[in-house]
Amino acid sequence: MCGIIGYVGHREAAPILFASLQKLEYRGYDSYGFATLHQRKIWIRKNKGKISEAGFEKLPGTIGIGHTRWATHGNVEKTNAHPHVDCEKHVAIVHNGIIENFEILKKRLKKDGHKFRSQTDSEIIAHLIENNIGAGVEEAVRRAMLVLGGRSAVVVISRDFDGIIAARTGSPLIVGVGENEYYIASDIPAFLNRTNKVMYLDDGQMVIIEKNKAPVFKDIKSNDIIKKRIITIDWDAEQIEKGKYKHYMIKEIMEQKETIIRALNQDSRAIKKVANEIDKAFGVFLTGCGTAGKVCLTGEYIFSNIANKHVNYVTSSEFPNYKNFLTKKTLLIAVSQSGETADVLEAVKVAKEKGVKVISITNVKGSTLDRMSDYTFLINAGPEKAVASTKATTAQLAILYLLAYSLAKNIDHGKRLLLETASKINDMLNPRYEEHIKKIAKRLHRKKDIFIIGRGFNYPMALESAIKIQEVSYIHAQGFAGGELKHGPIALIEKNTPCIVLTKGEDDHDIISNAMEVKARGGLVIGVGPKRYGVFDLWIKTPSVGVLSPIVNIIPIQLLAYHLGLFRGCEIDTPRNLAKSVTVK
């Protein structure tokens, strides 16, 4: 949510900031802006909408900051775009996060005579710094951070300082280390084409990057200096390009030919050790948001069916309500592609306060979730850039299956099944298959509603299917447990209302009965699964993989969502109102 970039070096900052910000656009895209420092003067350009080149090249200087916004406080207006400045333009700041006590702070600042130009909470940071500018800009930033409530990442340039000062109290910030030049960004892809060497800023820390000097990290509260290591990231810049594909989403869907195999590349001893922890724990919770949450819900079925183990899924934003059930014997498994989702991090924080052991499943090494966890399984999917999660979903599922099979003392069998499934996916994802789904998308793209039903393992995937269709095509889509339809939602079925039915190819009688109920009311039944049942008006074949059917069934729905979005002229990779990492609560 909101992308931040900063640069300190020997080259013109504006083109670097511009290119980097484009790479961060998946974090927010309603407006954007840049500020550079040249001859002790701050130069600013901002605009509404997606990043365009308008005016950026006119900014002089070798130090600068940039921001792409996902609005929280204040409309999508040029005045609300970042960077923001104080009354006297001592500083320009970019911010990612939410300042929970902003109303009190703003009132106080107004009383002190500060004049506000925007409706954002972020602008108060510039004025807070201005209040203490007499103490020096570094100290002024530190004092401002001390009074901010909520979660924030802030990057500041000042006409009185030849460099950048950045601070983090919750939202991510990473320093990229180049040759006598430094970057600071909310995500690694921002600078990955220039360096893969990084230094992480932890919560409660700030960094002072002065030109021609090594960065100095400090604790915001104590002001003590902190030593940091340089870490090398093993992603390469090509992985974050679209290559031959038109959109990241289709590239990432197709990458599932390999990503499931890559997800299986785990240390078997770690899988067994964590499976053992799951076994011993008194109360196991799975937590995640959105798509990752649906993966967790599938986890309930996976552990129950394969390992006869009761685990509970709680959506992360509600997890704090369960704190009374947490003890030192509880285990929490947190699932998050980005490892930066605020609700997930909050759930983990609550759990840790109760002494709970935390295992995470994430795609981003060094992410906040990774660093907060007792053990992390990296899904090895490579950067996922499209807002709609695809390859991370199936990779996360693969790890849950591995854990469940290990718990059932059957890990080799589980691995074999997963590898067989991966090879079937490889066969399935061919141009003819995509063409078939495209035809179905063409038929459905003007519908106002699409319903999806599934039972057992496929119930969470019905919910996930709805998320995919909603976010990419903006069609109203809703997923239900097959058995629930007759308890209310069936009232919505009219002649030709599409209903997608997820099946396994075995034990499907109940879900087929539910499909019949839809058909009897005139609904258009689209079957997904290995067998073509008579009730299906249209059919998307998936391989027969038994309990692993969630992995194969969700892929054609991802393709369907993609083509629905294309037919409807939607912004596939950057859907309206959304952002890739949701770093606010």
| Shortest Å distance, C-beta 389 to ligand AGP | 4
Among residues 58, 218, 580, 585, the one annotated as catalytic is 580
CA distance 515 to 526: 9
User: Smallest distance, Å, CB 501 to ligand AGP?
Assistant: 22
Which of the residues 2, 289, 296, 499 is marked catalytic? 2
Nearest in space to 571 (alpha carbons), one of 50, 66, 75: 50
Which long-range contacts (C-beta less than 8 Å, at least 24 apart) are formed by 484-488? 485/451, 485/453, 485/514, 485/517, 485/518, 486/514, 486/517
Report the residue number, 346 or 434, with the smaller CB distance to ligand AGP: 346
Alpha helices in 373-410 (DSSP H): 391-407
Residue 227 CB, nearest distance to ligand AGP (Å)? 30
Span of 112-120, 228-236, 331-339, 533-541 interacting with ligand AGP by CB under 6 A = 331-339
Among 205, 341, 368, 549, binds ligand AGP (CB under 6 A): 341
Binding to ligand AGP in span 73-132, by CB under 6 A: none
> What residues from 522 to 541 belong to the interface with ligand AGP (CB under 6 A)?
none
Per CB under 6 A, the list member of 80, 120, 205, 338 interacting with ligand AGP is: 338
Two tokens at 562?
């993609």
Q: Show contacts with ligand AGP in window 42-71 (CB under 6 A).
A: none
Kindly tell me which residue out of 281, 344, 499, 554 binds ligand AGP, with binding defined by CB under 6 A: 344
Cβ 57 to ligand AGP, closest distance in Å? 33
Residue nearest to ligand AGP (CB): 290
Task: Note if 357 is an active site residue.
Answer: no
Is the preceding peptide bond at 15 cis, omega within 30 degrees of 0?
A: no
d(CA 217, CA 205): 7
In the complex with ligand AGP, which residue's Cβ is closer, 83 or 172?
172
Which DSSP state fits 158? Answer: E
Beta bridge partners of 526: 500, 538
- 580 noted as active-site residue: yes
- Contacts with ligand AGP: how many residues (CB under 6 A)? 16
Residues 421-480 that bind ligand AGP (CB under 6 A): 467, 471
Of 298, 337, 380, 514, which lies in the binding site for ligand AGP, with binding defined by CB under 6 A?
Answer: 337
Assess 574 for contact with ligand AGP (CB under 6 A).
Answer: no
CB 434 → ligand AGP: shortest distance, Å? 19
Report the C-alpha gap between 65 and 200 in whole angstroms: 18
By rule CB under 6 A, what string of x and - marks binding of each residue 260-299 to ligand AGP?
-----------------------------xxxx-------
Sign of the torsion formed by the C-alpha atoms of 502, 504, 508 and 510? negative
Among the listed residues 260, 417, 572, 582, the single contact to ligand AGP using CB under 6 A: 582
Nearer to ligand AGP, 26 or 303 (CB): 26
Half-sphere exposure of 117 (CA within 13 A, CB side): 18
When the beta carbons of 1 and 404 are compared against ligand AGP, the nearer one is 1
Rounded CA-CA distance 565/471 in Å is: 9
Q: Which two tokens stand for residue 208?
A: 């002072």
Backbone angles phi, psi at 186, to 5 degrees: -80, -10
DSSP secondary structure of 101-137: THHHHHHHHHHTT----SS-STHHHHHHHHHTGGG-H
Residue among 297, 345, 350, 246 nearest 1 (CA):
345
To ligand AGP, the closest distance from the beta carbon of 402 in angstroms equals 19
Q: Is 467 left (phi over 0), alpha (psi -120 to 50) or beta?
A: alpha
The piece of 94-102, 242-250, 272-280, 338-346 that touches ligand AGP (CB under 6 A) is 338-346
Considering only residues 351 through 410, tell me which ones interact with ligand AGP, judged by CB under 6 A. 387-389
Q: Is 481 helix (H, G, I), strand (E, B) or coil?
A: strand
Q: Give the nearer residue to ligand AGP in terms of CB position, either 99 or 392.
A: 392
CA distance 45 to 58: 9
Given 45, 581, 583, 584, the residue binding ligand AGP (CB under 6 A): 581
Dig out the tokens for 313 from the structure. 């899924």
- Residue 291 CB, nearest approach to ligand AGP (Å): 3
φ and ψ of 405, to 5 deg: -65, -35
Q: How far is the CB of 517 from ligand AGP (least distance, A)?
A: 29
Q: Residue for token digits 């179905």?
A: 440
Please report how the helices 290-307 and 391-407 are oriented relative to each other, as an axis angle in degrees rounded to 10.
Answer: 20
- Catalytic residue ranges: 2, 580
Interface residues with ligand AGP (CB under 6 A)?
A: 289-292, 336-338, 341, 344, 387-389, 467, 471, 581-582
